[in-house]
Amino acid sequence: MNNVVDEPTARLDQRIYKICMVIARLGLAYLFFTQLWWKLPSDFGCGDDFAFPLPAEENHYTTNGSSGLCFWMGLESVFADKPRQVLVADMRPAGLPALSIDISPLAKLNGALLDNLIIPNIQFFGWIIWLAEFWIFLSMLLGLLTRLGAFVSIMVSAQLFIGLANIPRPYEWEWSYGTIILLSIALLGAAAGRFFGVDGWMRKRLTEPAERGNILAKIGLVLS
């Protein structure tokens, strides 16, 4: 069997690949763009009092007047000690057992980090969170150091997955966060900024210095 792909087919495959990567990259950029505005500095949508939700009865809480970043961060804390099953495949209708992964220990660790470090210093860490998401948007929009942007997206989305996936009230579908993680992994591997992005232009100028041993150029090549 002849496995050689003819040149027109190879060119078509490359075009489709590049177009798909650019669409995915810009889609992730717009996703994070939409999330910048409800937690704007300097109050991060929390209001002047920076109130957080408070636990009430089982699987319930009082909003305590919270909003913006404080509301969602507070929900992570409220549900941190509850049992948490994720990546659920309920096969019982087919007579098979349900599959899932218990992330309760990770959720508790995340809650402890929030309660003891992040929430007490929300006016500082709010900036870190907002700037991280702004960087993801900028990186994906421009195709600038997209591997670094994708890595930050994985970290941000993984933290949200641990803190919010499948909480009961409001119900947060785990794949809302899981899909972002998977998309970010794909963009990291594809280095999507090399197509119609700054990374493509930058790599041409970094290759020669990197070959001469320039450490910053080598780092730039890895991150782009």
In which band, very low, low, confident or very high, does the pLDDT at 147 lie, cut at 50, 70 and 90? very high
> In the chain, what are the domain boundaries?
12-223
Measure the CA–CA gap between 107 and 34, rounded to whole angstroms.
26
Q: Are strands 99-102 and 54-55 parallel, antiparallel or unpaired?
A: unpaired
pLDDT of 30-66, one tens digit each? Answer: 999 999 999 999 999 999 899 999 998 888 899 999 9
pLDDT of 158-181, one tens digit each? Answer: 999 999 999 999 999 999 999 999
Which residue, chain included where needed, has tokens 């090549």?
A: 221
pTM of the model: 0.91
Three-class DSSP category at 165: coil
Do 197 and 142 meet the contact criterion of CB atoms below 8 Å apart?
yes
Measure the CA–CA gap between 29 and 149, rounded to whole angstroms.
10
pLDDT of 5: 64
